[in-house]
Amino acid sequence: MFELSGKTALVTGATGGLGQAIARTLHAQGASIAISGTRAEVLQRLAEELGERVHCLPCDLSKPEEVQALVPAAEAALGSLDILVNNAGVTRDRLFLRMKDDDWQSVLDINLTAGFRLARAALKGMMKRRVGRIISITSVIGTTGNAGQGNYAASKAGLAAMSKSLAAEVGSRGITVNCVAPGFIVSPMTDALNDAQKERVLTSIPAGRFGAGGDVAACVAFLASDEASYVTGQTLHVNGGMAMI
């Protein structure tokens, strides 16, 4: 099940914890992968660890010309592109009254607009070959909202709505477009919480634990697989029951 041998994938934000978990899982399922992120040395280390079938494509998604070059570079490295994982994302948390235009715009540019441009670029080859998977990593926050994250929440909700519209357009061409929405995932950010804070958060998670990168990556592997060909325009929530949507 969920075998990805012979398939090719581009994962953005593969220098972060979640991106690395996704890259590792797709690779373990047999896919050839292109990993992208801003820190070339982190990509290189991951590539060395994984061995064959890995290409490093450093890219700064805040720069439109680099965004534009990324999918062609991935297609050149991989031969073609079957699976696009829009994972890269940033936060610039501020209370609304303190949020600068730049806090808003930079988060929208990287989280939403880059995702749009990459999907548009990847679609051409996918349409021709009548096969494709576009998977965007969103967040429970895109559905529930969160104080201090108006920009981030808007970007993630935007990705979800964009994906539904695109799914409607290209469903007849063998291309599925979905989102995976993580809840509280173990990261440097959750590590920084003290015990009392952790306890408080955990009381709101029926599963009784924070999520791991692998919990999210497994869902990405499913949506990328042939078995998920009838799943499109959906958001798969991976949050331990923290929000039931």
For residues 41 and 169, which CB has a smaller minimum distance to another protein in the complex? 169
Stretch that binds another protein, among 47-55, 103-111, 169-177, 232-240 (CB under 8 A): 169-177
Among 53, 94, 173, 198, binds another protein (CB under 8 A): 173
**Per-residue b or e along 54-93, where b marks 16 or more CB atoms closer than 10 Å to that residue's CB:** bbbbbbebeeeebbeebbebbbebbebbbbbbbbbbbbbe
Handedness of CA 79, 84, 87, 90 (dihedral sign): positive
155 annotated to bind ligand: yes
The answer to the question of whether 245 is labelled as a binding residue is no
Query: Which is closer to another protein, CB of 100 or CB of 128?
Result: 128
Judged by CB under 8 A, the residue of 47, 121, 122, 170 near another protein is 170
Write out the H or E segment, with its range, that includes residue 114: helix 114-129
- For the annotated catalytic residues, the residue numbers are 152
CB 159 within 8 A of CB 142: yes
Of residues 96 through 155, those in contact with another protein by CB under 8 A are 124, 127-128
CB of 173 to another protein, least distance (A): 7
Name the residue among 83, 89, 11, 80 with its Cα closest to residue 50. Answer: 11
Does 224 count as an annotated binding residue?
A: no
By CB under 8 A, residue 194 contacts another protein: no
Closer to another protein by Cβ: residue 133 or 156: 133
The rounded distance, in Å, linking the Cα atoms of 17 and 40 is 15
Are residues 57 and 77 in contact, defined by beta-carbon separation less than 8 angstroms? yes
Q: Which of 52, 125, 24 is nearest to 82 (CA)?
A: 125
Q: What residues form the annotated binding site for NADP(+)?
A: 38, 87, 152-156, 185
Residues that bind another protein (CB under 8 A): 124, 127-128, 169-170, 172-173
